[in-house]
Chains A and B, each alone.
Chain A
Amino acid sequence: MQIYAVSDITTYLRELLESDLHLADLWVSGEVSNLVRSTAGHLYFTLKDESSQLRCVFFRRPIMGEPLENGQQVVAHGRISLYETRGDLQFYVDFVQPEGIGALQMELERLKAQLQEEGLFEEARKRPLPRFPRRIGVATSPTGAVFHDICQILARRWPLVEVVLAPTAVQGPEAASGLIHALVALNDEPGVDVIIAARGGGSVEELWAFNAEAVARAIYASGVPVVSGVGHETDYTIADFVADVRAPTPSAAAELAVPDRMEVLVRLGVLAATMAGEVKGLLDEGRAEVQATVVRLERTTPDLAGRRLRVDELTRAGTSAIESCLRSLRQGVQGFALQLRSLDPQATLGRGYALVQRDGHAVTSVREVTVGERLGVRVSDGEFPVRVETAGRGRRGRARRGERQRPQQAPLFR
């Protein structure tokens, strides 16, 4: 016989409960009663049905969902264990929702809440898509219209891009693992810069693979940004929340992944025109500046006309000077000539004067002359003899003075 301590028993029971797989991941429906909220924010309540009840604790977490009320019919998810301190069987709840929603949907909501809490949906971690992708990986079914539509749209919009298909089932039991393998393969494929995970429209069950937890984690783990294009516009799967970009449809995913060739060409045209305009503007400015400088240059043209005028003036002045020099010389010469002419004895004779001579020498004084002597008289056109008849009358005073000052006359006629 073995005697055990109480804690041995409680520990044993707890471990027994926790080792049961069913009890570790349980959905339970029941009515809420005895709802208590602790000061720390934890919820304590009882789930009951007609015959039994179960103590529950819902520890405070960031996402609690809608507030619970006593009397509410709910479905709760969690695990069963033993609270050793009090020896109570407890249902540790991690998710509660009012009853009335489908089981699948509930599971979906639960998973969504859990992954959101883990941060898989964080906006901050979503990566921007490359502006001009070179290789696009597509994880989708190789048959059906989806892949064909995607390829067509990519070819139309951005024919430069290469498409790599990672074929996978997109519904049924193989779909989830297929998608995961496809994502891994595309990440390993060199040069893939965007991944499109897509499938066409369908029911919730058909889209179910895109709600799988493992698929969500694979999308999260993808090093290459993922665009989800699942079903129709109103279909939202967990993959859509985890993806870096959610597109409403597979075709929309293709359009989001690449730029539009025509838009880019137009933009290039605009940029080229702007550049050309700028360059032309610069050239025109440059030209205008050069022109303005040319105008200034023109104004600095050396004053040729002024210089010419001055040279002309000097030329005239020089010519005047030499001419006046010549004129004065000529006047001087002419003056002398006139003087000479007036001194010419022949001119004197022509003026009526006569030259009285004795043996060729001129007689200039009255006292030289004796009465009765023969003298010669020369006039302008010849000479004739004369005899002195009477004594001449002279001017005495004057004559005496004149005697002394009488210039020597050289013989005029030879």
Chain B
Amino acid sequence: MSSIEPTPAFSADTLEVVHSLIKRYPEGKQKSALLPILHLAQAEFGGWLSAPTMDYVATILNIQAIEVYEVASFYSMYNLKPVGKCLIELCHTAPCWLRGAEDIAAHLEKKLNIQFGETTPDGMFTLKRVECLGSCGTAPMFQCGATFYEDLTTDKVDTILTDLRTANVQSSYVDSDTFRRN
């Protein structure tokens, strides 16, 4: 895909992680590293995967760009559009619902004055509904980056939102220490 945007490039440190990941698979099977590398790309390039970012990942793995697009569009953790600094992913499947997830959903919408699927005008928060995150025993819960916020109450949500706003960092699932360098 042609683009007028500059080609993104991983930092030297991330590139080291990328090459270490590729070595985890047999010769010629480097495509196996696609999912973890897309996570790294999303974390490094603003919390979402633009077409130039995906094209760049394709060149690193020496695969077709379409092979990256079809994967990026399949899995729910890859954002194909920009998101706010803090992507709040609230679980709403039956076990969480039984323990009050919809009360938390309503509170989040009221507090941030946006609907699910929207981003606050200051670009700070995006609300997203997600399916079971395996936190049924500590429901209701949401995830922001790699952190699980569990046993939520409306009061607890207020505190978390304040803390996230103060910290003011782009939420991401991975950082430079997530993957062991083999």
Q: Do A and B truly interact?
A: no
Chain B positions near chain A (C-beta within 8 angstroms): none
